[in-house]
Chain A
Amino acid sequence: MRLKSMSLQRKRSMLGFVFIAPWLVGFLFLYLTPLIQSLMFSFTDLVIQPDGYSLEPVGFENFRNAILVDANFNRVITDSVGQMLISVPMILFFSLFSATLLNQKFRGRTLARAIFFLPVILASNAISSAEQAGLINLIGSGAYLNEMEAELSSYNVTSIVYMLLDVGLPRSFVDYIVSAILGIYDIITSSGVQILIFLAALQAVPSSMYEVAKMEGATAYECFWKITFPMVSPLILTNIIYTIIDSFTSSPVTTLIYSVAFETQNFGLSAAMSWIYTIVVALVLIIIGLVLSRKIHYN
């Protein structure tokens, strides 16, 4: 037996490989290989043939086409990244707010929690696309849909806009607030998991800290900013990352990349687009990570 001749430490580390074996096999053959293939496709022209496919190298042609030639790609990707940057702070703010709310003691808290986490279950692309299709069918054309949605979803916000502008808030901030009010349903429905994570973090804060603060005469406001906020701050980064990667699956970029590949059969272009998207998202994540990791309090 060779196993016998190994030292105990070697044996342990071999056992570690046994445990991660399923993942390792999957990672090598079903993740790393496709990833490299996808990179290869983005530099080639791929043609599907009866028995597999053939590749023809074209250099950076696909990337050039994606950025300079394709009519939609630039617009869609800037739109969706912009949308992501706008909605992330809102979702974060709302989920921290709801988590603090749900962490307090009041009658009917269990019911309130159950309702607040309902969106975790119901956040589904299938349902939203069915709803959209139903609405298009109702109106008769997709062209009016965006206008209609803006009309339907809201009550009149003009008075709020005037009020906030009169107070002297800057224009861009007012716009942001208004878009938050109009999109409140989307914000609420996409912050279920984030509320869960924040709530778990809040419950992990030792109650002795609050007791001490209360003895020393701290107000609830001070307690929040001096104890709660620093204690949950590591989870803010987690939640930002989660929110960003959660937006991938429903993002219009994904739909565009899918349709370029399987409807227009331009596989190389689709691969190039998905790599550009990956790089953009990675850049956003790295920048956010670098900025925030300095401000986070780790205990």
Chain B
Amino acid sequence: MSKSLMDDSYYRKQKAMQRFFDVVYSIFRALLVIGISFIIIYPILQKIAVAFKDKTDIYNPTIYMIPVHFTWENVQLAMGILDYFPMLGKTLLFVVITTLLTAASCALTGYGFARFNFPGNQLLFTFVIMTILVPSTTLMLPYYLHFKNFDFLGIISLFTGKSGVNLINTYWPSIITSATAIGLKAGLFIYIFRQFFKGLPKEIEEASLIDGAGGIQTFFRIMLPNAIPPIITVVLFCFVWQYNDTFYTTLFMNGMELMSLKVSTLSSQANQFIPTLMGYAHGSGFKADPNHVAMVVDTGILLAIAPLILMYLVVQRYFVESIERTGIVG
């Protein structure tokens, strides 16, 4: 009797202890999560606050985050300097085209490597890994020269007599590299597709072959519809990386209107643009208030990331889910 009572109280005590530690731990965890989230979100909040702040509020030391005078002026200025909507349209067109081409070519290649035993499969796949590992800086110079005088196997010089066409400052270099699956981080995408297709059961294909479908038909009718998770992963990442990329865009399209290029030179443009807007002639020696320029730059950055954030709000759950199902973890 007494023994079971003792057991009971011991058990209860243990349970109380357990609950206490659980509560302490969950508070600790909540603090950590909130702290890290704050570090990530803070710059964005700050930029939003700055974007709607009036010039008169710059030197008001009592203001923290929430401005006293709200205004759309910064947004309008930044949009004017960036030539926002036409440029956004061009950027999105470019990014969507390259993303779709990359996804298509990488899916084909990944499937080819996963399911066919042609001679040199292993060796060629090693080369795919090599394209991931070699820094793209190494290829920068030949790429530039190559696309400056672009000629495929001498076909162009055969027909026109010229030594090739200059493709620098057009969309073509990026389109060609993404269609041939060696563009921005394409090796990684091939790897993702290969891993996924390797994980699919072989029986699906065999069944479709027995039912009379050819290899290519099997791929488009059977394998692709099954490969939604890696397609989502690749499309999302490719889109984001293309949108943010400055390496290939500065190399191939330095003179073109693309978001990443325009935003990185925003500060100097704002410096030139603001005095003219305020009615001072060019070269009159008037300099824009650096704090005001900084405000416009912050607003411009916010405008540049706004489309991505909007997209992210819609698709963020796919980011986690699809990567879990692509089988990249083996």
Contact = CB atoms under 8 A, between A and B. Distances in A.
Contacts of A124: 244, 246, 260, 305
Given A23-B105, A30-B180, A34-B143, A203 B135 contact: no
Q: How large is the interface on A (under 10, 10 to 19, 20 to 34, 35 or more residues)?
A: 35 or more
Nearest to A50: B163
Contacts of B308: 121-122
A206 B131 CA distance: 34
A159 B323 CA distance: 42
B139 A203 contact: no
A249 interface: yes
B16 interface: no
Contact of A188 (B40, B139, B144): B40
A22 B117 contact: no
Interface in B278-327: 290-291, 293-294, 297-298, 300-301, 304-305, 308-309, 312, 316-317, 319-320, 323-324, 326
A120 B181 CA distance: 22
A138 B290 contact: yes
Interface residues of B, number: 97
B323 A197 contact: yes
Nearest to B121: A16
B219 interface: yes
Contact of A16 (B36, B117, B290, B330): B117
B246 A34 contact: no
A16 B112 contact: yes
A201 B319 contact: no
Given A13-B119, A26-B177, A130-B300, A278 B260 contact: no
A185 B290 contact: no
A254 B294 contact: no
A143 interface: no
Most B-side CB within 10 Å, residue of A22, A106, A117: A22
Contacts of B26: 106
Nearest to A129: B264
Interface stretch (B2-10, B66-74, B92-100, B145-153): B145-153
Contact of B180 (A13, A22, A33, A257): A22
B190 interface: yes
B179 interface: yes
A43 to B, nearest CB: 13
Contacts of B293: 134, 137-138
For the residues of A in contact with B, the DSSP-based class is: helix
A274 interface: yes
Most A-side CB within 10 Å, residue of B113, B135, B312: B135
Contacts of B41: 115, 118
Interface string A78-118: 00000000000000000000100100101010101111111
Contacts of B300: 130
B139 A34 contact: yes
A127 B24 CA distance: 39
Nearest to A119: B40
Nearest to A241: B133
Contacts of B40: 115-116, 118-119, 188-189
A178 interface: no
A252 to B, nearest CB: 11
A282 B133 contact: yes
Contacts of B309: 118, 121
A22 B105 contact: yes
B117 to A, nearest CB: 6
B137 A30 contact: no
A27 interface: yes
Most B-side CB within 10 Å, residue of A124, A133, A138, A204: A124
Interface string A131-173: 1011111101000000000000000000000000000000000
Nearest to A10: B118
Contact of A26 (B153, B180, B266, B324): B180
A30 B141 contact: no
Interface string B130-142: 0111111111111
A59 B267 CA distance: 43
Contact of A126 (B134, B135, B246): B246
B77 to A, nearest CB: 14
Contacts of B1: none
Contact of A270 (B141, B317, B326): B141
Closest 4 CB pairs of A and B: A26-B180, A16-B116, A19-B112, A34-B142
30 contacts: A15-B215, A16-B112, A18-B112, A22-B181, A23-B106, A27-B131, A30-B177, A31-B139, A34-B139, A38-B141, A51-B163, A106-B33, A108-B33, A115-B40, A118-B309, A121-B309, A122-B308, A125-B244, A126-B246, A127-B264, A127-B304, A134-B293, A137-B271, A188-B36, A189-B40, A196-B320, A199-B323, A200-B320, A200-B329, A261-B144
Interface of B: 26, 29-30, 32-33, 36-37, 39-41, 44, 105-106, 108-109, 111-113, 115-119, 121, 124, 127-128, 131-146, 149, 152-153, 163, 176-177, 179-182, 190, 215-216, 219, 237, 240, 244-247, 250, 259-261, 263-268, 271, 290-291, 293-294, 297-298, 300-301, 304-305, 308-309, 312, 316-317, 319-320, 323-324, 326, 328-330
